Amino acid sequence: MNFPPPSMSPPMFPTFHDAYLAVLQQVLTRPQYQTSSRGNQSLECLNVSFALADPRQRTPNLAARRTNIIFNHAEALWYLAGRDDAAMIGYYAPRLHALAADGHRLTGTAYGPRLFGPQGNSQWDHAVELLTKEPDSKRATMMIMRADEFANPANPDVACTLALQFLIRDGCLHTVCFMRGNDAVLGLLCDVFSFTFLAEFTALQLGIQLGTYTHHVASMHANEPDLPRVRAILAETSPSPPAAVMPADTTWHTVRQVLDWEEGLRINQRRLYPNQIPLLPFDPYWRRVVALLETYRQIIHQPQQPIEADILAVLDPHHRQLIAHRWPEHIPLEER
Ligand code: 5HM
């Protein structure tokens, strides 16, 4: 049975590009409140929700946003790895080191241990097992924020995501995200990327079609210093190109192999030579992810040299364009 969604459901967008612009437009032009919380002056709308018809269309095409597509992939992999170390994620986003109260571990932002740890007995494992046995279940929910997280007002890192829920309806995996708060400019883009990536991976592990993704946020806000960027983003008109499909043979083994490469490249003990790329033992989709990580290795560990043209050539064209927007000085002169 497939009835149209009732009118009280959130609006459905074909791509996250469209949803992101709609959220920014609302927060900028129709804010409900001006708030001041932990030193941030913000414009805020309460109870913002939207749905995505195709959660693969997760990367907006907006030059002024300067999307860090490498961080987006690294964060999703960091979650899948069940890690909470600042060493891994701080390499891709140095600002995150400041959130680690003990200098090493992220207590709120690290959703990986809560979703995927301990391996074999994680909330994700239980959700997948439940849905395999009872596809119509409405219990497959993975809690993220813990009840005691904000008891200490000095805690710099309290999880913003409350829970993720999976539902199988008409043979498709629908994912629902619940957040207490979301930074509409910065956090929203990263969170939707990661959660839709996890949704796509989960649908493959369940052997079913990917359904919709719905994002519910109690406090959607934009901080005052980001407002000029919001105006610049809203002035853009470029549509977003179609996204690649995660290959059907993706398993935990694939993810572990990619994570092996991630670590070797991050600590600069390995490098990916262009002639090695066709020999990597996984689908071109994942080869392009490893090539993204090699691109970053070159940006960080070989800052005086441009990124090798042969590596850039392997990347998804949209990702290559995002890298050119973010790190123009690292692009070979002839490709700028
Ligand atoms: O004071 P508070 O803990 O809410 O500040 C955290 C800020 O990071 C908020 O602006 C929140 O919306 C943003 N954030 C986000 O958008 C944080 C995380 C980390 O859990 C996230 N998305 N995933």
Cβ(75) – ligand 1 distance below 6 Å: no
Q: What is the mean pLDDT of residues 285-298?
A: 98
Nearest CA to ligand 1 atom 17: 160
Q: How far is the CA of 241 from the centre of ligand 1 (A)?
A: 28
Q: How far apart are CA 120 and CA 131, in angstroms?
A: 16
Model confidence band, residue 6 (pLDDT cutoffs 50, 70, 90): confident
The residue to mutate among 41, 109, 160, 223, having the most atoms of ligand 1 within 8 angstroms of its beta carbon, is 160
Nearest CA to ligand 1 atom 10: 183
Q: How far apart are CA 143 and CA 129, in angstroms?
A: 16
User: Does the structure show a pLDDT above 70 at 2?
Assistant: no
pLDDT in tens, 153-211: 999 999 999 999 999 999 999 999 999 999 999 999 999 999 999 999 999 999 999 99
- The residues that bridge with 239 in the sheet, in sequence order, are none
The candidate with the shortest Cα–Cα distance to 10, out of 173, 162, 174, 166, is 174
Tokens 């935990």, located at residue: 252
Worst-scoring range by mean pLDDT, 36-40, 53-57, 203-207, 247-251? 36-40
pLDDT in tens, 318-330: 999 999 999 999 9
Q: What is the mean pLDDT of residues 68-78?
A: 98
CA distances from 331 to 61, 228, 278, 302 (A): 19, 26, 23, 13
Q: How far apart are CA 181 and CA 47, in angstroms?
A: 10
Q: How far is the CA of 160 from the centre of ligand 1 (A)?
A: 5
The residue to mutate among 183, 188, 220, 223, having the most atoms of ligand 1 within 8 angstroms of its beta carbon, is 183
Average confidence score pLDDT of the chain: 96
Cβ(95) – ligand 1 distance below 6 Å: no
Cβ(140) – ligand 1 distance below 6 Å: no
Nearest CA to ligand 1 atom 18: 160
Cβ(107) – ligand 1 distance below 6 Å: no
pLDDT in tens, 228-248: 999 999 999 888 899 999 999
Residue 287 is predicted with a pLDDT of 98
Residue % of the chain over a pLDDT of 90: 95
Q: What is the mean pLDDT of residues 49-75?
A: 97
Q: What is the mean pLDDT of residues 48-73?
A: 97
Look at the pTM and tell me if it is higher than 0.95.
yes
Q: How far is the CA of 219 from the centre of ligand 1 (A)?
A: 10
Residue 3 is predicted with a pLDDT of 74
Tokens 């995505």, located at residue: 52
Q: What is the mean pLDDT of residues 93-112?
A: 96
How many Cα atoms sit within 13 Å of 114 on the Cβ side? 17
Q: What is the mean pLDDT of residues 128-144?
A: 98
Q: What is the mean pLDDT of residues 85-110?
A: 97
The residue to mutate among 109, 182, 216, having the most atoms of ligand 1 within 8 angstroms of its beta carbon, is 182
Nearest CA to ligand 1 atom 19: 109
User: Does the structure show a pLDDT above 80 at 33?
Assistant: yes
Atom of ligand 1 nearest to the CA of 181: 12
Q: What is the mean pLDDT of residues 139-156?
A: 96
Residue 1 is predicted with a pLDDT of 60
Model confidence band, residue 335 (pLDDT cutoffs 50, 70, 90): confident
pLDDT in tens, 81-93: 999 999 999 999 9
Q: How far is the CA of 157 from the centre of ligand 1 (A)?
A: 8
* Helix locations, 11-146, DSSP H: 16-29, 69-80, 86-92, 112-116, 123-133
